[in-house]
Amino acid sequence: MGFMGKRIRGRPEPRPHGPHDSESEAAHGSTPSAAYHVEVAEETEIVGTVSGGGEIRAEIAAMTLKDNGLVAALEAALDHVIEGGEYQEALERWAVGGEAVTESETNPPGLPRS
């Protein structure tokens, strides 16, 4: 979860009580969304982050239907862009390079249910 600081101004149609209220001093959202806003609006900055999994790192997933034959191809494609550097370039472009993984995983353990 990313936390953005500074006043957000210049929205043509403010959304009261939302994460991007035109008079907000701070807003929150997913770290990639916050990083995108920083890059596009150029009026805010990320002032802190909190993992969606608490003390356990919460990772983003690519999913497909079980037993549809795409799992191996999807994993190979993800590993290809990770190894080739395109994955890291995309993350760096949106200032979320710290979110990177070093390899794809099939059926990782995930977050605990409790």
Both tokens of 90, joined, read: 């995309």
* 64 confidence band (pLDDT: 50, 70, 90): confident
Residue 113 has pLDDT above 60, yes or no: yes
Which range (13-17, 41-45, 53-57, 59-63) has the least confidence? 13-17
Residue 32 has pLDDT above 60, yes or no: yes
pTM: 0.60
What pLDDT score does 5 carry? 52
